[in-house]
Amino acid sequence: MKIIITGATGFVGSEVVRQAIADEGITQAFVLTRKPLPEDLSKNTKLTIIEHKDFSTYPPELLAQLIGAEGCIWTIGGRATQFPDVETARKVSVDYTLAAAKAFSGLASKLPEGSQKFRFVFCSGKFAEWDQNKNLKMMKDTRLIKGQVEKGLFDIAEANKDTFEVWAVRPGGIVKKYAGLINALTANTSGFIAVDHLARAMLKIVLNGHANRIIEANELLKI
């Protein structure tokens, strides 16, 4: 399967790239990135690295390079507090993601013979909230932004239900690979997940789909 990966220089996205290289089910990964990848990755023949500066737009010449892709793992975004302000967080998390999903939904008409639908896997977050008017006391901006992205993606999937499908994974805390016994135990008991486990889970979803379109933290640990 050929897939698109975004956020490849970030904590989660870079691990998705590494796990995609190791996964025999992934034959090629189109890596959309604004910054160069580490040298050990940039020279891997399984990766097609495409420099893309503006994630709010997907011109025809870019989409032409992505023909043959059957899915996307989207890891651009993060907590609202990681951005200079809420407006920037919303632009990166909501606008960029939905622009990509709309553009990639058009790739479904160019899928290889035998492929069913284009699969879009979004790395969301625990407690994402769709109701934008809900009064939240904990991580309000992050949860509302993640919820807005999820709803927007599922709306796009509904409008293109014969060719495009979406999954949203909701990890809690994400711990480093090889983070030690204490973190490993924490990941297995409280909804936290190791980044390599999360990456492999998202790859399994893009390859095989999943019964639930929203996959909560504890369920992610079982994939």
- DSSP E strand stretches across the chain: 2-6, 28-33, 47-51, 71-74, 118-123, 164-170, 174-175, 193-194, 214-216
What pTM does this model have? Answer: 0.91
Domain enclosing residue 191, as ranges: 2-220
Tens digit of each residue's pLDDT (9 = 90 or more) over 83-103: 999 999 999 999 999 999 999
Q: Which amino acid is at 185?
A: L
- 188 pLDDT tier (thresholds 50, 70, 90): low
Q: What local confidence, expressed as pLDDT, does residue 172 receive?
A: 86
Look at the chain and report how many structural domains it folds into: 1
128 backbone dihedrals φ, ψ, rounded to 5°: -55, 140
Tens digit of each residue's pLDDT (9 = 90 or more) over 35-65: 988 888 888 999 999 999 999 999 999 999 9
Which residues have a Cβ under 8 Å from the Cβ of 40 and sit 6 or more positions away?
Answer: none
Strand partners, 164: 118
Asked if the model's pLDDT at residue 115 lies above 70, the reply is: no
The structure tokens listed for 123 are 């790395």
Which of 119-123, 131-135, 182-186, 190-194 is the most confident on average?
A: 119-123
CATH number of the domain where residue 50 is located: 3.40.50.720
